[in-house]
Structure 1
């Protein structure tokens, strides 16, 4: 059976003529989408089997809180005392060892027609390399031939906005288009964070039933902006300890690391422009005219540019790029990557010697 896309699988679950498969494999690089789809599938499957015939396993292995693949297969191959067939859900699994994969593949090729096996696999949030590797695994190949495979990736663009709108609608709320865009940008499109913010907004608006830009600004954005400006101001002034404190506060309040990187990259460019303008004898109003921003937002870069030298801007941009690559490809902890970046940015510039 061909691999299903997330939207097609959603239609199957919502349809009136749902016909269950013997094996399901739901996997991908967006764990929330995988989990949400698995929960809906479980509810659908339990309509015919019931909770007494449902078995939930989180980890494969030989540990005290784990179960072996052989034990799962044995459970599926025995008759349910309560009728209706058994449902066993394994996951979310990370890396699957070869022995367990071999056992599961053997079962998938000859499954018990009375039972249903559901496997969920988390290939790592945003980890496309691992996702593509798992695409070629023996387990995916076997389930494609004998069951249903559904692959999930993070939504983006119009699909992501639609996901947010649908989430609000499920809570009986109407949301403005620009409020959705602001919420998506502020959470960096992270579904788990978006879901959390939607819950807060639903509680905040109460009976009003409408979420506006003003609502998002007052409940999601405003309480974090002080820490954002604390970080920017500290980096401008090369005050390392204050910058570390502001960074910790932002991360503890779920500020997306990629947004922090974007802010720092923008600030470095503003500081570099201000430095170049000052060094060439330009005035503040000249800097404002070619920067295009409001005066109050540009005053900080202008005043603090004197603390920087030109080589530090090139090094700063290089470090920002390296930080982004480390978080996306190497999966390095944001706290470590961003702290290292800030330590570099806050190094005192060498004094300029008189010629």
Structure 2
């Protein structure tokens, strides 16, 4: 089941006794929990009938015992269980001892007066496990993958509408370019911009560029853009702006190395036929940086990328060993980039 369907069903009063929520989009998982609290619980009795457990700190049997307890002054109670490792192929890293038989028995016969929500921050559940098979059969397993493309833009439009503002498509594209796909920060930025344009106002691309501060990651990609195009004056300007914002030159070097490494990895995986979504899963990163890296990978030969990474590693050593000033090192890198880009296998 996808998350849109689960919101729809809950809004219609179709509440399941057990849910499994998994995926990278933790903001939407939190939104669903808040939605369920509004749908299921009487506000006056929330403190008595809402519980949150983290299996890194609390044994599962305590959460099960709570789930087996009748609600107080209400028809239902909600029990949230975070870090439900037993649904994945992984193991718990904590010293807490869990009685996993207790959760299996509960899932076999759940309380009708309890909504138990199991949360696993993972891209994939372990479908070989009995409990996962049973929950999938009951159709209460919900994936929350990252949003992208038209789906993300439509979500941003809805967020703007909630603030009584209109969001132009160009503005949505600019927001994704600057902020990425972090729904929490996108929500904050849209609320800020909507307040600026006022009720009934229109959020344009120009307003977004004026009001939304760029992330360090986007500035680094911008720096790579200018460097790869040999627009060195603009590249230097971005670098000096980062210094004015109190960014450490060594931090900039490390981020440059990380992004060039990702561009290399994306280039290699593209040649092997991977999709961008598969790359994100393989590399353990959000899909948006993969998209940015893919857009830039065609500008570099594989040999040039390896040459750049070797150069940055050597400069990292020279800076840390006191052989060169860290600002001078970055300035020299941008002056030498033309030679590095011409390296061929």
Q: 1:67 aligns with which of 58, 65, 80?
A: 58
Could you say which residue in structure 1 is the equivalent of 2:78?
87
DSSP 3-state at the match of 1:117: strand
Could you say which residue in structure 1 is the equivalent of 2:197?
205
Q: 1:60 to 1:301 in 2, by over 3 A?
A: closer
CA shift for structure 1 position 74: 1.3
1:37-85 C-alpha deviation (Å, 9 max, x unpaired): 2211222121599425423224125xxxx33211111122233343523
Once residues 16 and 38 of structure 2 are traced to their aligned partners in structure 1, the CA distance between those partners, rounded to angstroms, is 14
Is 1:266 the counterpart of 2:225? The answer is yes
Structure of higher CA gyration radius: 1
Could you say which residue in structure 2 is the equivalent of 1:120?
119
Q: 1:188 to 1:32 in 2, by over 3 A?
A: same
Residues 11 and 39, structure 2, Cα contact 8 Å, conserved in 1: no
Q: 1:58 to 1:323 in 2, by over 3 A?
A: farther
Q: 2:4 aligns with which of 7, 11, 15?
A: 7
Q: 1:321 aligns with which of 263, 278, 282?
A: 263
| Equivalences for residues 280-291 of structure 1 within 5 A | none
Could you say which residue in structure 2 is the equivalent of 1:106?
105
CA shift for structure 1 position 327: 8.8
DSSP 3-state at the match of 2:36: helix
Q: 1:74 to 1:14 in 2, by over 3 A?
A: closer
Q: 1:151 to 1:317 in 2, by over 3 A?
A: closer
| Runs (5+) with no aligned partner, structure 2 | 93-97, 237-256, 270-278, 290-308, 316-329, 340-345
DSSP 3-state at the match of 2:147: coil
Residues 23 and 147, structure 1, Cα contact 8 Å, conserved in 2: no
1:194-241 C-alpha deviation (Å, 9 max, x unpaired): 112112212322345321222112101xx54xxxxxxxxxxxxxxxxx
Counting matched residue pairs gives 259
Residues 22 and 111, structure 1, Cα contact 8 Å, conserved in 2: yes
Could you say which residue in structure 1 is the equivalent of 2:327?
none
| Equivalences for residues 187-266 of structure 1 within 5 A | 187-207=179-199, 209-220=201-212, 223-224=213-214, 254-255=215-216, 257=217, 259-260=218-219, 262-266=221-225
Q: 1:76 aligns with which of 46, 67, 71?
A: 67
Q: 1:79 to 1:37 in 2, by over 3 A?
A: closer
Once residues 164 and 204 of structure 1 are traced to their aligned partners in structure 2, the CA distance between those partners, rounded to angstroms, is 17
Q: 1:267 to 1:319 in 2, by over 3 A?
A: farther
| Runs (5+) with no aligned partner, structure 1 | 124-130, 225-253, 272-296, 303-314, 335-339
Q: 1:38 to 1:83 in 2, by over 3 A?
A: closer
Residues 22 and 115, structure 1, Cα contact 8 Å, conserved in 2: yes
Is 1:148 the counterpart of 2:140? The answer is yes
Once residues 111 and 316 of structure 1 are traced to their aligned partners in structure 2, the CA distance between those partners, rounded to angstroms, is 47
Q: 1:104 to 1:20 in 2, by over 3 A?
A: same
DSSP 3-state at the match of 2:124: helix
CA shift for structure 1 position 102: 4.4
Once residues 320 and 89 of structure 1 are traced to their aligned partners in structure 2, the CA distance between those partners, rounded to angstroms, is 36
CA shift for structure 1 position 265: 4.0
TM-score normalised by the chain length of structure 1:
0.61
Could you say which residue in structure 1 is the equivalent of 2:27?
32
- What root-mean-square deviation, in Å, do the aligned CA atoms of Structure 1 and Structure 2 show? 3.8
